[in-house]
Structure 1
Amino acid sequence: MQQPFDIVIGNIDYAVFPEGNDTYVIFKNGKEYVSIQKDTDLQWLKLDPETATPIFETDQEINSIGQAILSYVPEEEEDEEFE
C-alpha cells in the first residue's frame, strides 16, 4: 500500500493518508480535515464523516486535492548500502 505523503496547493499544506480502494484521509494544516474517494480522474467525492458514504456534490477544493494526488510522484528512497 502507498505510504502517506504531503501535497501543497497554493499556500495550504495537506497530508494525504491512502486507505486503499482510491480512498484517502486528508489532513489540512495538521488536523484531520476530510476523507475523499476517487470517482473519475476529474471528479472526487467527499465522504460523509459519520457514514463514510459519498456526498455527490461538486467541491473544487476536493477536486484540486484529488488532482494533486494523481500527479504526486513518490520520492525515490536512497539506497542505504552506499552510505
Structure 2
Amino acid sequence: MTLIDTKEDDMTELNDDRMLSARAVLERFNPQPTLRTLDRWLADPRIGFPRPVRMGNGRRYFVEREISDFSARGCPAD
C-alpha cells in the first residue's frame, strides 16, 4: 500500500492501490454479478480472478488495480 502524499504524481499510485470491498468490485461489472458468481470466479483458478485480502473484520477486499487489470482482460461469462 502507498502512503498518502500531497504530490500530484503520487496520487495516481495511491489510487492504484486502493482497496475495494467485494460489493464495490461487483458494481464495476455490467451486468452486475452476484456474490455467488464472485465465489465461483475465486474457486476456479482458470479464471484468474484477483485474490482478496481478508481484513480484521473478516470481509474480503481487493486491490483496485488488480480488478482493473482483470476487467481489461475480459470478464468470464457466468
TM-score, normalising length: structure 1: 0.23
| Higher RCO by CA contacts (8 Å cutoff, separation 6 or greater) | 2
Higher helix share: 2
Higher strand share: 1
